[in-house]
Structure 1
């Protein structure tokens, strides 16, 4: 049985940022963002990856059986990025999505977990018979 002091220590560990400090953010319009952190980690995050991992609640989500599914974004581009305070960036995509604020900690999370998050994204698309490619216009 965990004491209340132990619970506090566990909760505090998850509430306090453990990500290294962001040292560089470069937008390579329209295809990717390069982020670098104080521990030397450098991540190249594609527009598609950032779009489907958007932290926005209203990110034009398709919900299938309660599961977040964003598809058809393989060729999405980044139109611009706007700094939000001292903690993050709002990215404006060419599909007009612009409500997500990507914190520096979230960029670090996306960078360090890129392989598994992308693998899960592709697995989810396959599960529902969806594609990374946009739908063809008629």
Structure 2
């Protein structure tokens, strides 16, 4: 993962809203995203979720109630999110968080379509 460069979006505020299970991120360019914890969990950049190459992704199921229990800064370029289901690997770079926010509708719909195709659910088993 790359660190900071001229194209890296700059974050001005990060707020965890545990009651509504959402992470709010404000960027210097004025973009502001309120990303559900479930969304962040199922799109974690970790190898556990993404796999080790194209086609090796692992569909995350049963994550509807997941929350973030800790946020750890990583340098000046990323966050490590610790989820209450025990998942704590994968670094969310500013660039990736911006991408997740900007593409929320499309990414979320694709995820829901993949869940339905697999006969899986957002609900815990």
> Which range, TM-score by smaller chain?
0.7 to 0.9
TM-score by length of 1: 0.78
Contact 1:76–1:93 at 8 Å: present in 2 too?
yes
**Structure-2 separation of matches of 1:17 and 1:133:** 41
Larger Rg: 1
Unmatched segments (≥5 aa) in structure 1: 1-15
**1:95 maps to what in 2?**
85
Residue 117 of structure 1 corresponds to which residue in structure 2?
Answer: 107
- Distance in 2 separating the partners of 1:104 and 1:66: 24
Query: CA offsets per residue over residues 41-97 of structure 1, 9 Å max, x none?
Result: 100001100000000002497xxx744311110111111111111111111111100
Residue ranges of structure 2 left out of the alignment (5+ in a row): none
Q: What TM-score comes out, normalization by structure 2 length?
A: 0.85
Whole-Å separation in 2 of the counterparts to 1:84 and 1:33: 17
Partner residue in 1 for 2:14: 25
Q: For 2:58, what is the secondary structure of its paired residue?
A: strand
Q: What is the number of equivalent residue pairs in this alignment?
A: 117
